[in-house]
Amino acid sequence: MLYPLKFKPLFKERIWGGELLASAMNKKLPAGKRIGESWELSAVPGDVSVVANGKLAGNNLEELTEVYMGDLVGDHIYNHFGLLFPLLIKLIDAQDDLSIQVHPNDQLARERHNSYGKTEMWYVLACEPGAALYVGFNKPVTREEYLQHVNDGTLADILDRVPVKPGDTFFIPAGTIHAIGRGLLIAEIQQTSDITYRVFDWNRVDANGKGRELHTELALDAIDFDSKQQYDKTRTPRKNEAVNLVNSPYFVTNVVEVSGELIRNHEDKDSFVIYMGTEGNLELTWGAGTETLAKGETILVPACLDEVLLKGEGKVLEIYMM
C-alpha cells in the first residue's frame, strides 16, 4: 500500500550558495560547502530522489513510478510522462546574485536537448532587507537593444528589479529573462528540466580568474521579447483555506495556512499532491497512519490517497497537476 513519501534531499554546491538551508530550513548540510540548492523531489537523470521513510525507503522515484504507475502520479500524468516524474521541487539559498538567465520552452528544449522546457515559480521564504528579484524587462526591448546591453555589460539596466518580502510569489514562464538576487531564500517549483542558458554572471570569476560559461546565442532564440505576462502572483493566506497562487498547465500551487485541523480532499484530482512545509510543524494523517511535516520538509502524497488531515500550526505549499 502506498503512503505519503519523504525523500533524501540532494544538495547542490553553488558559487552563490551559503549555509542558510541549515539554520532556516533544518537541513543537515555537508560541512564547508556553499550549498545553494536542496533538491527536495527530483527525477532529473542522474539526480533521481530516493525515499527516506517507511517500507519503501531506499527505492528511487523512477522505480516507484514503474511499479505503481497511476496510483503514484495519476493515470493521465503517467500516460503522458511515463517514468519521468514531471516536477522538480527545490529550496534555494541565494547568498549572492544568481546569473541572469533564461530557460527554453517545451518546443525548443525538445528540439535542442530532447527534454522538457522549464517553466517555474518562486515563493519567497525569507529575505534580507532590500532583497529583490529580476523578472522580465522593465520596458519594451528589441532583440537588437537586448544584444547591445549584453555586449555592453549593462543587461541589468533593462531588467525589472522587484523588491520582495516573505510570502511574495512569482510565476516565471519559459522564455522569461530573470535572476534571483542576493539575500533570498526561495521555494522553487518547476518542470523537470535542468536546462539553463546563462547570459550574464555579474563578471564573477573563480580562483583561477575564469568566469562561468555563457550561452548568449542559445539564449537569444529562447527569450520571449513579446511577453505580456503578469509575473507577481502574491496572495494573502487565509487560515484553514487553500489560497491559489499559480494555476498553469504545468502545475497548480496553493498556499495553505493550518491552525488546528484541516481536511484536504483530493478525490477530484487525478494527480499526486506535494506538500512543502514553509512554517511551523504539522502532522499529516491518512487512513493508515501519520507522518510529520516540519518546516523545510517536503512530502509526496500518492494519487491513490483521496484525503489527508493536516493538524497543528503551520503553513504549506500544496502542489499538484491538472
Domain at 260, CATH number = 2.60.120.10
Residues 146 and 275 in one domain: no
Residues 255 and 180 in one domain: no
User: 275, 312 in Cβ contact below 8 A?
Assistant: no
Residues 205 and 253 in one domain: no
Q: Is 42 exposed, middle or buried (0-12, 13-18, 19+ CB in 10 A)?
A: buried
- Retrieve residue 302's grid coordinates: 500518492
As for how many domains the chain has, the answer is: 2
H or E stretch covering 70: helix 70-73
Domain range holding 63? Answer: 10-222
Residues 139 and 205 in one domain: yes
Residues 56 and 173 in one domain: yes
Residue that finishes a domain, picked among 194, 222, 250: 222
37 assigned to some structural domain: yes
**Which pLDDT does position 4 carry in this prediction?**
98
**Which pLDDT does position 206 carry in this prediction?**
79
- Retrieve residue 239's grid coordinates: 487560515
Residues 214 and 69 in one domain: yes
Asked if 235 is an active-site residue, the reply is no
User: 29, 14 in Cβ contact below 8 A?
Assistant: no
Residues 23 and 165 in one domain: yes
Q: Which of 34, 112, 182, 198 is flagged as catalytic?
A: 198
**Which pLDDT does position 308 carry in this prediction?**
98
Residues 176 and 248 in one domain: no
Residues 216 and 292 in one domain: no
17 assigned to some structural domain: yes
- Retrieve residue 65's grid coordinates: 513510478
The DSSP letter of residue 181 is P
- Of 77-86, 170-179, 203-212, 249-258, the one with minimum mean pLDDT is 203-212
Residues 193 and 296 in one domain: no
Average pLDDT over residues 104-109: 98
